[in-house]
């Protein structure tokens, strides 16, 4: 099969190379078609995407994306947001799980944030009222809310999980978040075997820090989902181990949740784990569970041993050495 690979900005090119090497080592039937997108490409060419990128994703329907940079306050809009809205990948799925060998205040974390991906404030409807005032529109629809809530319950059922917690601020935003919560309650009626829970977003942040083991699958509107998924990543050691999937009815775009880290770009010391785990999610969705499990097991062993790990997690290995260590574990387990 063919799939699109978007290396992105900064360290994206280095960690994308890890994916190519692992694909080759496992002899997977994936022919990667590479296209450029992001700040570096926009600076050189004046547009976000290399010509043919959108058409390739339309044709192949599967893509894996490295981190892309977005200017703060000025410049072009996010590549991520643009792709999500263009391909209507309405569900952003971000699982986090504790790994032995990663320093963290917590153990045995196993959480999934499922975030509505196409509307809310990320719709980008904003304008200047005058020189001293700007307004942003928080767009919430019943259709999108029901769709993401149903996806969360279906995900919970499929993965043999137990509880879906709705994250909201309906005590203040009674119409917008109230509509989201109304949709959640309606959808929940179709899943009587799954526990339900509703938590206000600020309290949710505190509860995740105090008692993360009490939670399972979290479903939230776009902005809250973005924030709490990063918080959840912090519970397991940071965004370096935070994979992400953008799922629509027809298209699947997987990506590392972290940024492009321009300060270490080109130094061959970036941790490719988040992109590798995103690739694992992609393989699982493709039905390649055996290959996915081999990669996960190998990654876990390399991190646990701590001999060939990158500097961000206490090692001295290069990106290339870390990737090769994973490949060696995969090959040894054949």
Of 29, 31, 190, 202, catalytic = 202
Q: Of these residues, 35, 41, 90, 122, which one is catalytic?
A: 122
Determine the Cα–Cα distance for residues 224 and 120; give it in Å rounded to an integer: 10
Count of alpha carbons within 13 angstroms of residue 15, beta-carbon side: 34
Specify burial of residue 333 (Cβ count, 10 A radius: 0-12, 13-18, 19+): exposed
Whole-Å CA distances, 306 to 21, 319, 321? 21, 14, 12
Q: Which of 9, 120, 177, 226 is catalytic?
A: 226
Q: Which of 211, 209, 229, 210 shows the shortest CA–CA distance to 219?
A: 229
Distance, in Å, from the CA atom of 254 to the CA atom of 294, rounded to the nearest integer, reads 19
The verdict on whether 211 is a catalytic residue reads: no
Q: What is the DSSP letter of 91?
A: E
Q: Which of 169, 296, 308, 329 is the catalytic position?
A: 169
Kindly write down the DSSP assignment for every residue of 285-331, as one continuous string: HTT-HHHHHHHHHHHHHHHHH-SS--GGGT----HHHHHHHHHHHHH
- What kind and span of H or E run contains 135? strand 133-136
- Whether 138 is a known active-site residue: answer no
Torsion over CA of 223, 225, 230 and 232, rounded to 10 degrees?
A: 150
Could you confirm whether 226 is annotated as catalytic? yes
Write out the catalytic residue numbers.
Answer: 122, 169, 202, 226
């Amino acid at each position: 099969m063919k799939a699109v690979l978007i290396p992105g900005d900064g360290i994206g090119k280095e960690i994308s190379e890890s994916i190519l090497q692992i694909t080759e080592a496992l002899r997977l039937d994936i022919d990667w078609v590479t296209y450029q997108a992001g700040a570096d490409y926009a600076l050189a060419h004046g547009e976000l995407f290399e010509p043919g990128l959108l058409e390739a994703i339309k044709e192949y329907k599967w893509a894996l994306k490295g981190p892309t940079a977005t200017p703060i306050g000025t410049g072009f809009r996010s590549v991520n947001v643009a792709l999500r809205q263009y391909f209507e990948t309405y569900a952003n799925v971000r699982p986090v799980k504790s790994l032995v060998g990663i320093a963290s205040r917590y153990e045995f974390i196993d959480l999934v944030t499922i975030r509505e991906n196409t509307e809310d404030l990320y719709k980008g409807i904003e304008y200047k009222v005058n020189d001293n005032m700007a307004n942003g529109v928080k767009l919430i629809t019943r259709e999108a809310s029901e769709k993401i809530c149903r996806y969360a319950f279906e995900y919970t059922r499929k993965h043999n999980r137990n509880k879906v917690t709705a994250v909201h601020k309906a005590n203040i935003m009674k119409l917008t978040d109230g509509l989201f919560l109304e949709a959640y309650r309606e959808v929940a009626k179709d899943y009587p075997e799954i526990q339900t829970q509703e938590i206000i977003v600020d309290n949710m942040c505190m509860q995740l820090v105090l008692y993360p083991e009490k939670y399972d699958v979290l479903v939230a509107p776009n902005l809250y989902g973005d924030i709490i998924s990063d918080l959840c990543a912090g519970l397991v050691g940071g965004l370096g181990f935070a994979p992400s999937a953008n799922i629509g009815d027809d298209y699947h775009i997987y990506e590392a949740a972290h940024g492009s880290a321009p300060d270490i770009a080109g130094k061959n010391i970036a941790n490719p784990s988040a992109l590798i785990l995103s690739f694992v999610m992609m393989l699982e969705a493709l039905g390649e569970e055996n290959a996915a499990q081999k990669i996960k097991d190998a990654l876990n062993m390399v991190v646990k041993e701590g001999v060939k790990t990158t500097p961000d997690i206490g090692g001295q290995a290069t990106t290339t050495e870390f990737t090769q260590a994973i490949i060696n574990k995969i090959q040894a387990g054949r």
